[in-house]
Structure 1
């Protein structure tokens, strides 16, 4: 954690906490709400947010002490553990509890069936990433063999995937919002299915930090998690329009109606966790998906990579 700095205006001091998010997405609305509604500042924290544009990049920043907290999928902590890290990265506050990606088709499909992917091409994600593992898991659960029945395109960078699809690449696209809603409005695609509904609950996106950092600054992490819980309360008790208005500064150039529509989609698909607690059932489901993808080299213990102390206190309060 960095030194305290003036909050500007009220004479109090705010402790700066550097946060690196994996991508910029409406899926992470609770984080933006916590910043914009002043929940972090109420706890005495000034969050400095940057976007890494990749789980591997966000984790690299965390391991190199270039950031204090990372918002990534919990699977990244497993990879660090499997590499024999002396200072493990620990998950301490959950933000999303399901995969937040959707299947985008070129034409509207009223009665979607996963078998429609057979013999088609799908723009997917990087090998070992949770979106890709979930995609492969859902395909197998529905009788499809990834890379055999479905041609998964993985050589397009995340920030260029929607553009590539709009330009004619692939029959289907696995995308996070607002890409789907933007493609729909432009008449270039249609959201036809949710990967999250068929893969079950898991610690999809969580706040994490080095174990040593958490041990040295427990009060700071409690304050941070308290703010996360307040934001979760807000996104679950507010209308899509209210949430959209708060987070709009993070999505410049995106139609406010699209932002509201995406918020509604995530509320209805149960994508956002109601509290920061990462329970073992969700963690075990994540491990099952990783094992199915061949990415779980050895078992990892829930208690070694998850700290629920701060989340449970935030929830109780």
Structure 2
């Protein structure tokens, strides 16, 4: 019965589709027509995975930030990072929300044939936004206790397992024997309760649900210390898109920047949380206590470089990768 209750609680944050709440933001972005011509391609598609990391995009759409820039944006929901990358490389979408490890790996594989550009930064790590947790009655209480254990992550070769390994390494724990268990977030909590996995890497909103309702124990928070502020996800486009439709890309960048600036305000923060309630199935009572990531205003290549450096450290890539050529500058104004 406990596993059933856990599954029900996890399902409470399953994805749903709906509208967004209202936000009265400042009119700090001039219409695209006043920016030297409208977008070459007014209708664009963006592949996303609903999460706290891309929540300002819902606000940008509902509040007309894209419309101000002459864009009609369709947000295309995908089931995972692999689906997002496939859609981008296949030309099914114009922009894609994806984790930086996936973007780096896709860039490496497509070098010489497909070139990816990061057009805007989406999110950066903050404390309390992720945690490695165990069942409340588990004897595992420290990073060292997780050596050789079964740890649930959504995927390997991603920021999930990188964060776990970095946190364990900082505690001088051996990561070589970890048994990674790949599964969706809603499946992790029931499997913790049944003992099928020993620990799980959780992100918001699943983390707040677990802490508020399910009584899990936090072994450690990965996004602290050396990983605090590390870039997590970005918005990407193919190089040919940036070359053929530069005004379209610039319009998208301006709308994202405005959404991120608004998210840093009190009313903007409220709008982001309401967007999660209406678009990601987050319960209204959980939304106020969610720990949200940072939403960067600029895309800084030096900060982004921490990601491939971490990937090389833990063997996801074999040699140093310079991310700077991937980063497309943000237009002024």
Q: TM-score normalised by the shorter chain: which range applies?
A: 0.7 to 0.9
Structure 1 stretch displaced more, 229-238 or 195-204: 195-204
TM-score, with length taken from structure 2: 0.77
Structure 1, unpaired ranges of 5+: 1-11
| Secondary structure class of the residue paired with 2:214 | coil
1:274 to 296, 308, 316: 296
- CA distance in 2 between partners of 1:29 and 1:155 (Å): 24
1:219 to 234, 237, 247: 247
Give 1:52's aligned residue.
78
| Secondary structure class of the residue paired with 2:315 | coil
1:94 to 114, 121, 136: 121
How far the C-alpha of 1:231 sits from its partner, in A, is 1.0
- CA distance in 2 between partners of 1:71 and 1:108 (Å): 37
| Secondary structure class of the residue paired with 2:120 | strand
8 Å contact kept, 1:236–1:274: no
Give 1:145's aligned residue.
174
TM-score, with length taken from structure 1: 0.81
- CA distance in 2 between partners of 1:125 and 1:136 (Å): 15
| Secondary structure class of the residue paired with 2:156 | coil
Structure 1 segments of 4+ aligned residues over 6 angstroms from their partners: none
- CA distance in 2 between partners of 1:172 and 1:107 (Å): 11
Identify the structure with bigger relative contact order (alpha carbons < 8 Å, sequence gap 6+). 2
Say what the alpha-carbon RMSD is for the aligned residues: 2.7
- Give the alignment of 1:1-317 within 5 angstroms: 15-21=42-48, 23-83=49-109, 84-98=111-125, 100-107=129-136, 114-118=143-147, 120-148=149-177, 151-190=178-217, 193-198=220-225, 199-238=227-266, 240-252=269-281, 254-262=282-290, 265-266=291-292, 271-275=293-297, 277-310=298-331, 313=332, 317=333
- CA distance in 2 between partners of 1:85 and 1:259 (Å): 44
Structure 2, unpaired ranges of 5+: 1-32
How far the C-alpha of 1:162 sits from its partner, in A, is 3.6
